[in-house]
Amino acid sequence: MWLRSTWLAVVYTDRGGVLIVADASVRLALTQPSRTPPDFIMLELLTLGDYFGTLVFAVTGGLAAAEKKLDLGGFVLLAFVTGVGGGTLRDLILNRGLVFWAEEPAYIVLCVSGAVLVFFVAHRLPRLHKALVWSDAVGLAVFAVIGSAIALESGARPLVAILMGVLTATGGGVIREMIRNEIPLMLHREIYMSAALAGSGVLVGLDSLGAPTWVAIWVGAGVAFALRGAGIVFDLHPPTYSSARRSSASAPDDG
């Protein structure tokens, strides 16, 4: 329990998150003899992963804006929506007071940076496509477990916590596609929501079995990343309605 509140404090810390964590580790390590150094490394990595995921999501938002030939304002809007949209919905639904990026401006800076970066160099990014897809998978995994862990911390029930993980990881992308007038690929082409669902489910399951928080977090994130990675490597697609229908015995009608 105390471990969980510690890393939440870290995630929402003001700036120089890593330094503060390092400082906090020393102090906690002195006062909490049961706490072992490896935990802190895990927590720092999670904070870094969260920042990294926000930046990567912002970059994918910028690329989505480039495809529609938007102006810089459009780039910033889509980067912002993709980077922090899911977490914003989560915070509103859980009634957590100020949304996370209003308390920690680093997220705003990351989103704007991602947008500006892409606006000026997007035409050079195609060669980075592979790196981006894999970075996005890291963001997906980290956002899913962070979303679920924050929900548990807020006292949400397990089922709600799982939903909040999926929402944190995928909500921003869905709103971005709503603004762009596209149907999100993740709803009919890619192993994406199911990877987030699996990661969040594993975290909530392990937590309710009494596993240490960092174990639950990292196993959950690992499962989400592995599933998404398998989808990328083996080019897997989830069964869509038409294929489900084809494999069914009954004659096809107009659904």
Contact call for residue 98 and a copy of itself (CB under 8 A): yes
Measured from the CB of residue 34, what is the shortest distance to a copy of itself in angstroms? 33
Which residues lie below 8 Å from residue 141, measured CB to CB, with a gap of 6+? 49, 169, 195, 199, 220, 221, 222, 224, 225, 228
Q: At its nearest, how many Å lie between a copy of itself and the CB of residue 168? A: 14
Question: From CA 121, how far away is CA 196, in angstroms rounded?
Answer: 30
Which is nearer to a copy of itself, 16 or 239 (by Cβ)? 239
Q: And the tokens for 36?
A: 């072992």
Closer by beta carbon to a copy of itself, 10 or else 179: 179
Q: Based on CB atoms, which residue is closest to a copy of itself, 27 or 124?
A: 124
The count of other CB atoms within 10 Å of the CB of residue 121 is: 11
CA distance 136 to 112: 17
User: Quick one: 31 or 95, whose CB is closer to a copy of itself?
Assistant: 95
Please report whether residue 223 would count as binding a copy of itself according to CB under 8 A: no
- Near a copy of itself by CB under 8 A: residue from 92, 128, 131, 236: 92
Site for a copy of itself in 122-161 (CB under 8 A): 122-126, 156-157, 159-160
Alpha-carbon gap, residue 59 to 204, rounded angstroms = 29
* Region of residue 254 (left: phi > 0; alpha: psi -120 to 50; beta: else): beta
Q: Is there a contact between 81 and 179 (Cβ–Cβ < 8 Å)?
A: yes
Query: Does residue 204 interact with a copy of itself by CB under 8 A?
Result: no
Write the DSSP symbol of residue 114.
H
Instruction: Enumerate binding residues for a copy of itself (CB under 8 A).
Output: 63, 65-75, 77, 88, 92-95, 97-99, 101-102, 105, 108-109, 119-120, 122-126, 156-157, 159-160, 163, 174, 177-184, 186-189, 192-194, 197, 237-242, 244-245, 248, 250, 252-255
